[in-house]
């Protein structure tokens, strides 16, 4: 049963845009077929209960992509495993289909030199024992301090200001303060504005590049199908933000966000 009809186009468009930019058109088409087959096979495990409630019965999913060719394994590793790309797409697909996930749900993606049959991938499913939750704490125990609002600082590139507090539910990022259509009607206003023609880094920032969304107290960076892409660097590791993906990537204090070659650093203030 195909559950992803309403969201699969967004997920596939984001993956295809990334793969085409990194590997080229011919390679991206083949990778997209593998990506689609994986999501459809995992979707086939979803169970529909009474009153149409959907659940995924496994707490652990392991995806192995296999090839005897080391270059092909490297492609699989970059396309699917690095940055948790395939894991994020699996979660987006299941959550977008309003499917309940078990506590501690996890996805492992790896590329190996092994024989797994006609398909280039194999998927294993498992159940992990759920540890009992922590005992309720006394009401008198002090609660952790709340976290303050978000803040981004301009690290590379020239913007109107050096830092921007994130005071809105959605903060648009791009070149030019206002974008208009053919009839000079404003179609978008950017809150974080990189100056037009200021330097080489600014030239890689699209006019409608990305936005930061405040969602249930968390900030997420979303790429608005920019030309040069959006990446988050965390602990020295790059995380590609899928183009056009509404979920985006959750930001953590200290993250560096690259918009093409321009860079912002995300932080949280004190309440």
The model's pLDDT over 98-153, given as tens digits with 9 standing for 90+, comes to: 787 888 888 999 988 876 667 889 999 998 655 555 655 655 555 545 567 899 99
Q: Provide, rounded to the nearest whole percent, the portion of the chain with pLDDT above 90.
A: 35
Q: What is the mean pLDDT of the chain?
A: 84
- List the single range of 16-25, 151-160, 186-195 with lowest mean pLDDT: 16-25
Residue 204's Cβ-count burial label (10 Å; 0-12, 13-18, 19+) is buried
| Confidence label for 97 from pLDDT (cuts 50, 70 and 90) | confident
Q: What is the pLDDT of residue 136?
A: 57
Beta carbons of 255 and 266 less than 8 angstroms apart = yes
Across the range 78-97, mean pLDDT stands at: 82
- List the single range of 2-11, 103-112, 205-214, 216-225 with lowest mean pLDDT: 2-11
CA–CA dist 7, 214 (Å, integer): 21
Q: What is the pLDDT of residue 14?
A: 79
CA-nearest of 5, 4, 33, 38 to 19 is: 33
| Confidence label for 243 from pLDDT (cuts 50, 70 and 90) | confident
Bridge-partner residues for 109, per DSSP?
63
Q: What is the pTM of this model?
A: 0.51
Residue 205 has pLDDT above 90, yes or no: yes
Residue 256 has pLDDT above 90, yes or no: yes
Q: What is the pLDDT of residue 22?
A: 85
């Amino acid at each position: 049963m195909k559950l992803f009809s309403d969201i699969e186009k967004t997920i596939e468009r984001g993956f295809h845009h990334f793969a085409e930019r990194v590997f080229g058109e011919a390679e991206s088409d083949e990778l997209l077929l593998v990506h689609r087959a994986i999501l459809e096979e995992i979707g086939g495990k979803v169970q529909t209960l009474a009153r149409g409630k959907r659940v995924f019965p496994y707490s652990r999913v392991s995806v192995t992509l296999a090839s005897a060719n080391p270059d092909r394994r490297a492609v699989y590793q970059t396309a699917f495993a690095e940055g948790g790309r395939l894991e994020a797409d699996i979660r987006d697909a299941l959550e977008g289909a309003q499917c309940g996930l078990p506590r501690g749900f996890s996805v492992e993606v790896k590329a190996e030199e092994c024989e797994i049959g006609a398909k280039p991938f194999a998927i294993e499913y498992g159940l992990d024992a759920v540890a009992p939750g922590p005992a309720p704490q006394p009401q008198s125990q002090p609660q952790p301090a709340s976290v303050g609002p978000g803040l981004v600082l301009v690290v590379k590139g020239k913007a109107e200001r050096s830092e921007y507090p994130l005071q809105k539910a959605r903060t648009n990022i791009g070149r030019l303060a206002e974008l208009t259509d053919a009839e000079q009607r404003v179609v978008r206003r950017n809150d974080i504005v990189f100056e037009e023609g200021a330097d080489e880094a600014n030239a890689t920032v699209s006019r409608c590049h990305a936005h930061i969304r405040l969602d249930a107290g968390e900030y997420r960076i979303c790429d608005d199908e920019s030309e040069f892409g959006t990446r988050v660097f965390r602990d020295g590791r790059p995380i590609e933000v899928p183009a056009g993906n509404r979920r985006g990537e959750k930001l953590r204090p200290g993250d560096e966000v690259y918009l093409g070659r321009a860079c912002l650093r995300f932080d949280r203030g004190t309440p």
